Amino acid sequence: MKAIRYHAYGPPEVLRLENADMPAVGADDVLIRVRAASVNPLDWHNMRGEPYFARLDMGLTRPRHTALGADLAGVVESVGRNVTAFRPGDEVYGGCGLDLVPGTTGLAEYACLRQDGMLREMPAGLTFEQAAAVPVAALTALQGLRDRGRVRRGHRVLINGASGGVGTFAVQIAKAMGAEVTGVCGTGNTELVRSIGADHVVDYTKEDYTRSGKRYDVVLDLVANHGLLANRRVLAPTGVFVECAPSKGQWIGPVLGMVKVAMMPRMAFFLSRTSADDLAAVSGLIESGKVTPVIDRTYPLDETAEAVRYLERGHARGKVVVTV
């Protein structure tokens, strides 16, 4: 099969379309003919080997794991003998993460996931491209708002980075939770953010939300372009600041998160986790019409390097998807 691989850390040029072995299908595994995958900030962090301390796990001088791609959508090709939840021909989508059979990922013609992993039938009406855009970004938004922000009906929620991959899901999910949503984005994206449900839109080129005098119950920061003290100014007395900004090149992951939480208890840093239950919850929101994936651009598999390069620039409007 064809698959994207990289054998050295570096810029997108290190990505290669190569011939790779087909995944071996175990008794509890589902083999998927991938039709679309999406790229995430995690992909280019892995590609570049950043942050450097993460190389203790990824490989010090060269990548230990040479495949990329955490989201996928496709058609079930075959199943292991113990699999009962899926059958050949099912249209499915999911997040790879730790649920992938080792050695495979979404940016390939085939991928193998465990039946009890983060894998579900695609919501009715979605294209493969739309479905592939969902898992990582939507779960990041859901978990940030629900688990860290504890958003409730009537809460005033500000989303910094509302026009990006996670942000477009966050606006819609916060609205589905009954929140009053303010989205922060650039001039060219204000209409997009309004169109997906934001009650208020702040153009960061014209206004600094941290100096507006307004207060919010939850601030979900997906950009990290303001300091902690500045963000604390906009919190209501019991407000919570939640940061998930993997696109910020100098972030140092959970270590930074623990420092922030120790300094300011109402500040939370998090990375999303794979969860089949949460993917089911997102599927329900999509099927009810409350959430629709937003796709900026699509690229063919052999142009994955260009897709990652575009995402790395930090100005995507929604998700960047690779068709296979």
Q: Hey, what amino acid is at 34? A: V
Tens of pLDDT, residues 247-299: 444 344 444 444 444 445 577 777 788 899 999 999 999 999 999 999 999 99
Closest residue by Cα to residue 160 from 181, 129, 137, 184: 184
Instruction: Please state the domain extents for the chain.
Output: 2-134+293-323, 136-269
Q: Which CATH class is domain 136-269?
A: alpha beta
The pLDDT score that the predictor gives to residue 264 is 55
Going by pLDDT thresholds of 50, 70 and 90, the confidence category of residue 234 is very high
In angstroms, the CA 71 to CA 128 distance is: 11
Fold of 2-134+293-323: Quinone Oxidoreductase; Chain A, domain 1 (3.90.180)
Grouping H, G, I as helix, E, B as strand and the rest as coil, residue 239 is strand
The whole-angstrom distance between residue 175's C-alpha and the CA centroid of its chain comes to 19
Omega before 12 within 30 of 0, i.e. cis: no
What pTM was computed for the model?
Answer: 0.91
